Structure 1
Amino acid sequence: MPIPRIAIGTREEVIHPSAFQAALAEFISTLIFVFAGQGSVMAFNKLTGGGATTPAGLVAASVAHAFGLFVAVSVAANFSGGHINPAVTFGVFIGGRITLLRGILYWIAQFLGSTVACLLLRLSTGGLATGTFGLTGVGVWEALLLEIVMTFGLVYTVYATAVDTNKGSLQTMAPIAIGFIVGANILAGGPFDGASMNPAVSFGPALVSWSWNDQWVYWLGPLIGGGLAGLVYETFFIPPTPEQLHTSDY
């Protein structure tokens, strides 16, 4: 079971140069991802006179987020594991693959990256508002379930392709598989709640636009889904080993 392997971490680990390097990689990659994802929605909305919520807008958002995440994970993978998502960080923490203190460092970097991306988008588009996440035709509990299921699929994919030491040749496919599952989930959940799957992606636009409606759904759902995915994969698919926790594994 992974639960006994959960670790708090040490001060030395947090102040080590590699920890700063990893956090910086998470900051830059989250900025890249949110700038591309949010920017594509804003651009489509501008070109179509408000057509971001049309079927074509949904497909455009799906493709842009899939491509953006593929790149963001790829460029950060060698330094931080390419989490780009507090729910992914939480999932690997629950699985005993990262310490709490290092995970908090990643969270700070991810939230800052998303916020800076949204600020840059507003500054570079003449003050256009960044799109915030909201519910359309579903209640908060239905949206919460959507976020749990979609994020479970995302973090399960991360585990199967990037975390599992038995993944073999799948490692090279990890970034594209992670991007694909996010793109597919946007097609499935986008019309209902925006398909966040990522508290940082929700936080940046909410802070810059100062719109916090139902924001808790986009935090609680992904964290539950990510934590469940880490627990399930570690329990049923990764054989137990006597090795100590290594925070640099993922």
Structure 2
Amino acid sequence: MAGGQQRGNKWKNHFVAASGEFVGTFFFLFLAFSCQLMAFEQAGDQAANGSISSSTAIYISLGFGMSLLVAVWILYRISGGLFNPAVTFALVICGQLPPLRGLLLFPAQILGSIVAAALVSCILPGDIKATRTVLAPGMSAAQGVFFEMFLTAFLVITVLMLAAEKSKDTFMAPIGIGMALFVAELAGVYYTGGSLNPARSFGPCVAAADFNTSHWIYWVGPLLGSAIASGYYRFVKYFDYEEANPDQDSAGADEIV
């Protein structure tokens, strides 16, 4: 009887966590897509090559970074606040998330992105197709893959070191994660669209019923970035990184009773 109840509780917890990932991914991307669509609708200051200007890129970056920051802070106690298949993949291969939980969170994240893009398309004027992630003029597919890989690695190592790796500063992790996405978007919005998240790229393509030929980049690049960040995380954990720079989390002698 106890074993059956335990299994029931496990599936209940998986369901609740998946619901948190759906809700969090939805609100994160609903707000971010809305910001991006508004920026494109109002931006008269395009760059000379017809692409977005730096001021538009900054606004879009701020929309994505702050939307993620708030969504993670609200929902991290329910599901961990991942909202990204690349982050989920990293936590699974680092042993921070059970594989079964990862498999259940993945479709919740994808569905949250699709619903967010579809509702933005229905509610707001403008073409949701504009929010797809595409390469800038002059960017090759190989350049796009590697750029997305390194940007995602930066975001994922932030999640691993601030959230997965527990310390007295863990409760502040949502701020670090949101700021990491903001900085990565500043670099990436112009060149690749700044995906760092397969769900973020997939949702608008479904809502627009139009997959660009370079869409595969936004799966391969982020997943490679997750693998790189996870490898480095395992490396520093294996060699007890705390010993390399000790007492960084110390409260100080004046706070020791």
Q: Which residue of 2 aligns with 1:192?
A: 191
1:85, distance to aligned residue in structure 2 (A):
0.4
Q: Which of 24, 31, 35 is equivalent to 2:26? A: 31
Q: Does the 8 A contact of 1:91 with 1:228 survive in 2? A: no
* More displaced 10-residue stretch of structure 1: 36-45 or 84-93: 36-45
Structure 1 stretches of 4+ moved >6 Å: none
Structure 2 partner of 1:218: 218
Which sections of structure 1, spanning at least 5 residues, go unmatched?
A: 1-11, 241-250
CA contact under 8 A between 1:14 and 1:102: conserved in structure 2? no
What are the within-5 Å matches in structure 2 for residues 173-192 of structure 1? 173-192=172-191
The letter of the residue matching 2:237 is F
Q: In structure 2, list runs of 5 or more residues that go unmatched.
A: 1-6, 241-257
**TM-align CA RMSD:** 1.9
* TM-score scaled by length of structure 1: 0.85
Q: How does 1:112-191 map to 2 (within 5 A)?
A: 112-126=111-125, 128-130=127-129, 131-136=131-136, 137-165=138-166, 168-191=167-190
Which residue number corresponds to residue 237 of structure 1? 237
Residue 77 of structure 2: aligned partner: 78
Q: Distance in 2 between matches of 1:16 and 1:146?
A: 38
TM-score, reference length from structure 2 = 0.83
Give, in angstroms, the shift of residue 59 of structure 1.
0.6
Show the 5 A alignment for 1:89-100: 89-100=88-99
Q: Per the alignment, do residues 122 and 164 of structure 1 end up closer, same or farther by CA in structure 2, a change over 3 Å counting?
A: same
Partner secondary structure for residue 26 of structure 1: helix
Residue of structure 1 equivalent to 2:41: 46
Cα distance, 1:93 vs structure 2:
0.6
Cα 1:92–1:15 shift into 2, 3 Å = same
| C-alpha distance in structure 2 between counterparts of 1:37 and 1:121, whole Å | 10
Provide the identity percentage.
33
State the Cα distance separating 1:172 from its structure 2 match: 2.1
Give CA deviations for 1:6-42 in whole Å, capped at 9, x if unaligned: xxxxxx4896111111000000000111111111011
Deviations along 1:92-146, whole A, 9 cap, x unmatched? 1110111222111111000000000011101111463241111112101101000
Report the alpha carbon displacement of residue 169 of structure 1 after superposing the two structures with TM.
2.4
Q: Per the alignment, do residues 218 and 20 of structure 1 end up closer, same or farther by CA in structure 2, a change over 3 Å counting?
A: same
> Which one has more relative contact order, counting CA pairs under 8 Å at least 6 apart?
1
Q: Does the Cα contact within 8 Å between 2:41 and 2:126 map onto a contact in 1?
A: no
The separation in 2 between residues aligned to 1:44 and 1:192, in whole angstroms, is 17
Bigger-Rg structure (1/2): 2
CA distance in 1, matches of 2:24, 2:168: 24
- Does the CA contact (< 8 Å) of 2:14 and 2:101 recur in 1? yes
Offset, 1:232: 1.6
User: Which residue of structure 1 aligns with residue 68 of structure 2?
Assistant: 69
2:86, 2:45 → 1: CA distance?
Answer: 31
